[in-house]
Structures are given as structure tokens and as C-alpha cells.
């Protein structure tokens, strides 16, 4: 606010006081009136003290996508650390950080919170840093959140107050959004950090009168606190390996459900995506084995189909030859080729288009020959054996998935929770697959309990 505006405000206050008959003006009354116009002074000061400690955190994913969140520099006992939410970097890729004020930050040792959504990286000790507020927050504390709202790479200021306090979380009414994850929640009165903007929750209780007119029926904003954090000095390499492992297991699980329950072929072209799996070589072997069996099954099915097509086409030609008598066998074959483009036997077979194509390409050239029923029966038995082996492979894939989940010592509680959720689903899928394929699995030599 400039000087002229200030003079105008003071003059206005004086005029209103005179008109009301109050000739005496106290300093406190002027201060109260002016507080409306100068209310941003304190918060501007808070931002000025914080702005050179604010960070944009970016993850360039292995698949070419990019994620962006927020972070900030804090003081530790001896060192300085870049702090953000763990979920900001919970994606396989390259992590980078740069100050809002400009300049890349070199990230050192990594430490993960086992029981909170927090991660920290050691940084240069010469960097300016915020302090953690050791005083308990109180209801109504004015706070500000500075961060990379919507992940667009620019700092925003979001104001609000403390609305709820817990041992792990603090609730605020500052309406932060995606991209603000990892932003500091700064108490205005102290200029220190009381938490990290972490998550929003929205539960609709439209049918519950007790909730309908309360703030609990709307979006709520939560920050995670530092008090009581259990730190795990796992190291960046091992942490990112676990992140990648969970990502691969997620893709593995999605694909194996399609393969097991959706009746989909899994051929070598489909396997190409699985080839990129690096964490567990077993996943590669499992999917390659399934792809090889499905490829073999597909080729055998095509060969059987072609044999049946030959017999169907020849049968039609012989019947027509008998009816016309004058025609030779070759004339009958030619007739099949010309009559409705080979659709004469289309009604006998489930794929008339392919039958017509076969008749056009093969029958019309006189390349047709009888295929003995013994040969066809043998082919069907062979296809059955390959099918059983594929069933066995799919079942083994489900079992291998469960074993993989149990083989790792996961570093955070959320990772453990995700793994437990996967295990429950896979165990249910194993039971379901056994019921669906009990007879086939027994034939394939799998013991069903």
C-alpha cells in the first residue's frame, strides 16, 4: 500500500469518528481499522523468509512421463536435508530437484520414513534452510503453504488455519492441490514448519443428516507431522529398486489376470513389454514360457483349422461331383471356388470368411488332398497337451507372483500394505483358478488341495 492510500485511510477513520461524536481517537482503534488493509504484511514477511528454501522435485519416469511435486530445505541436528513426500518420488525414474530461487540441488544420502509419507535427501550444508517448529500447533493457528501447485513449476501461496491436530497428521483448511505434495506448512507466527502438505480426503455423507451441513461432508486437507518418525537409512539405490519392483509386480499382476481369467492369448508380441522387467528375472521366464506355449497353441490351432478346411472343401466337391456325374473331380473343386466365393460350406464351419479365403487360395488351385481322421485326432490330442501345459504355466505364474511378494523385505509400511493387498488378491485368484481348471490341472500333473 502506498503513502497516499495510507493518508486517505487515516483521514477516513478520523472523519467517521468525528461524525459519530467521538473526538478522541486511540492508537488501538486506528490499528484495528488498519489491520484490514495491512493484513498481508505478516504473511508476506513469512514468505520472504521461506522463499529461498523452496524446491521443485521432478521424477522423469522410465516410460517417458514426468511427475512434479514440491519440497523444501530444513535443518537437521548436524546436516541439512531436502524433504518431500515419499509418494512424490514413488515412481521408477530419475529424481532431480531445483530451488524456486534458481539452481539445481545435488541430492546426497537418502533416508525414508518407515511409518510416514516422508523422504529426505542430504544436501549442501551452505543452503538456507527452514526450521521445524517444536511447539505443538493449536487450533486456529494461521498457516501458509508454499509449493508447486498443479505441478506447473511455479510457487504459489495458499493461506489457511489449523483445523485438526493428531499425533501423525495436522488438518488445515488451506486448499492445496496435486503438485503441492511435499510443500511446507508454515506457522505464520513463528515462520517455522509444522508439517508437510500430503493428502486430501473427501467422503460424501449425503444420506446422513449428522454430516450433511458440516465441513466433514466436504474435502479435507492433511499434512504429515515430523514427530515420532521412524527413519530407515535404506539408501536411494535400494529404495528405487523396491519402487521399480512394486511397479513391475503391479504390471505383472494386471497381465496375469488377463491371461488367466479373460481368455486372452499371450503371444510373443505381447511378451515384449515384459522383457523390460529388470528386478525379477523370474517374471521374464514365467511370461516367456506362457508366450511360447500360447504361440505354439495358436500355430497348432491354425494347422488343425487348415486340415479341417481341406476335408470340408473336398467333401463338398465330391458330393457335387456325384450329383452332376459328368463333372470330374477337378471341375467340382473349381465349382466350389466359384460358388459364392467358397461359402458353400460356410454354414458348416464357424469361420466362413477364413473358409472362403482358404477355398479361394488353396482349393481353386487344385492343391486339396484328404487328411486322415487319425491325423486330425492326433493333432487335437497334441493341442490338448499344449493347452494343459499352458494351464500349468498360468497356475505357476500365480504361485510365482505370491512367492515374489514374500521374498522382499519392504522398507516402508505403505509398501508392506500394498504387498499384503496384492497377496490377498493373488491368493483369491489362485483359489479361483484351481476351481475353474481343476480337471485340467490334474491332467497336467498339478496336485489340487
In a domain, 202, yes or no: yes
Inter-axis angle of helices 236-261 and 281-324, to 10 degrees? 20
Number of other CB atoms surrounding residue 286 within 10 Å: 24
The answer to the question of residue 244 being in a domain is no
Structural domain includes residue 447: no
Tally the domains of the chain. Answer: 3
Q: Which of 233, 260, 284 is the last residue of a domain?
A: 233
Instruction: Quote the pLDDT of residue 193.
Output: 97
d(CA 418, CA 424): 10
CATH number of the CATH domain containing 206: 2.40.10.120
Q: Which of 198, 233, 268 is a domain's end point?
A: 233
Looking at the fold, whether 50 and 22 belong to one and the same domain comes out as no
| From 32-36, 88-92, 168-172, 328-332, the region with the lowest mean pLDDT | 32-36
Q: Are residues 8 and 113 in the same domain?
A: no
Give the predicted TM-score (pTM) of the model.
0.67
Q: Which residues of 163-190 are buried (b: 16+ CB within 10 A; e: fewer)?
A: bebeebbbbbbbebeebbbbbbbbbbee
Average pLDDT taken over every residue of the chain: 77
What average pLDDT does the segment 2-24 reach?
Answer: 41
- Tell which of 181, 203, 233 closes a domain: 233
More confident residue, 316 or 161: 161
Residues 85 and 183 in one domain: yes
Instruction: Kindly state the DSSP code that residue 446 receives in the 8-state scheme.
Output: P
Q: Are both 27 and 51 inside the same structural domain? A: no
Co-location of 208 and 90 in the same domain: yes
Range of the domain at 352: 250-442
**pLDDT higher for 179 or 5?**
179
Q: Strand 219-224 to strand 169-172: parallel, antiparallel, or no bridges (unpaired)? A: antiparallel
Residues 59 and 101 in one domain: yes
User: What digits encode the pLDDT tens for the residues 183-230?
Assistant: 999 999 999 999 999 999 887 766 776 776 777 778 899 999 998 999
Helix axes 3-19, 27-34, angle to 10 degrees: 120
Share of the chain above pLDDT 90, in %: 29
Amino acid at each position: 500500500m502506498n503513502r497516499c492510500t495510507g493518508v486517505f485511510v487515516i483521514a477516513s477513520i478520523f472523519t467517521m469518528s468525528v461524525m459519530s461524536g467521538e473526538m478522541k481517537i486511540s492508537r488501538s482503534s486506528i490499528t484495528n481499522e488498519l489491520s484490514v488493509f495491512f493484513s498481508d504484511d505478516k504473511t508476506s514477511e513469512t514468505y520472504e523468509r521461506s522463499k529461498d528454501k523452496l524446491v521443485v522435485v521432478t521424477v522423469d519416469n522410465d516410460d517417458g512421463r514426468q511427475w512434479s511435486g514440491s519440497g523444501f530445505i530444513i535443518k537437521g541436528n548436524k546436516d541439512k536435508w531436502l524433504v518431500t513426500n515419499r509418494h512424490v518420488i514413488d515412481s521408477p525414474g530419475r529424481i532431480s530437484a531445483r530451488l524456486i530461487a534458481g539452481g539445481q540441488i545435488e541430492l546426497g544420502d537418502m533416508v525414508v520414513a518407515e511409518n510416514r509419507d516422508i523422504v529426505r535427501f542430504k544436501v549442501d550444508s551452505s543452503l538456507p534452510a527452514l526450521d521445524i517448529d517444536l511447539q505443538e500447533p493449536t487450533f486456529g493457528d494461521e498457516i501458509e503453504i508454499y509449493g508447486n501447485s498443479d505441478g506447473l513449476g511455479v510457487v504459489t501461496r495458499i493461506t489457511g488455519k489449523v483445523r485438526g491436530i493428531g499425533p501423525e497428521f495436522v488438518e488445515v483448511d488451506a486448499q492445496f492441490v496435486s503438485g503441492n505434495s511435499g510443500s511446507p506448512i508454515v506457522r505464520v507466527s513463528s515462520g517455522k514448519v509444522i508439517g508437510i502438505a500430503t493428502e486430501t480426503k473427501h467422503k460424501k455423507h449425503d444420506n446422513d443428516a449428522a454430516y450433511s451441513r458440516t465441513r466433514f461432508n466436504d474435502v479435507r486437507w492433511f499434512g504429515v507431522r515430523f514427530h515420532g518418525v521412524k527413519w530407515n537409512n535404506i539408501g536411494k539405490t535400494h529404495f528405487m529398486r523396491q519402487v521399480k519392483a512394486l511397479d513391475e509386480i503391479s504390471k505383472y499382476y494386471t497381465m496375469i489376470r488377463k491371461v488367466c481369467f479373460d481368455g486372452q492369448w499371450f503371444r510373443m508380441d505381447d511378451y515384449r513389454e515384459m522383457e523390460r522387467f529388470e528386478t525379477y528375472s523370474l517374471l521374464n521366464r514365467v511370461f516367456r514360457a506362457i508366450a511360447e506355449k500360447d504361440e505354439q497353441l495358436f500355430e497348432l490351432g491354425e494347422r488343425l483349422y487348415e486340415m479341417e478346411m481341406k476335408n470340408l472343401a473336398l467333401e463338398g466337391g465330391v458330393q457335387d461331383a456325384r450329383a452332376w456325374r459328368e463333372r470330374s473331380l477337378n471341375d467340382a473343386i473349381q465349382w466350389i471356388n466359384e460358388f459364392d466365393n467358397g461359402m458353400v460350406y460356410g454354414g458348416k464351419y464357424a469361420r466362413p470368411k477364413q473358409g472362403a479365403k482358404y477355398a479361394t487360395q488353396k482349393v481353386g488351385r487344385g492343391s486339396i488332398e484328404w487328411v486322415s481322421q487319425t491325423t486330425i485326432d492326433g493333432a487335437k490330442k497334441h493341442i490338448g497337451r499344449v493347452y494343459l501345459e499352458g494351464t500349468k504355466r498360468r497356475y505357476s505364474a500365480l504361485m510365482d507372483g505370491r512367492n515374489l511378494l514374500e521374498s522382499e523385505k519392504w522398507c516402508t509400511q505403505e509398501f508392506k500394505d500394498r504387498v499384503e493387498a496384492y497377496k490377498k488378491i493373488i491368493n483369491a485368484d489362485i483359489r479361483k483358478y484351481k476351481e475353474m481348471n481343476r480337471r485340467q490341472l490334474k491332467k497336467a500333473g498339478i496336485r489340487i488341495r
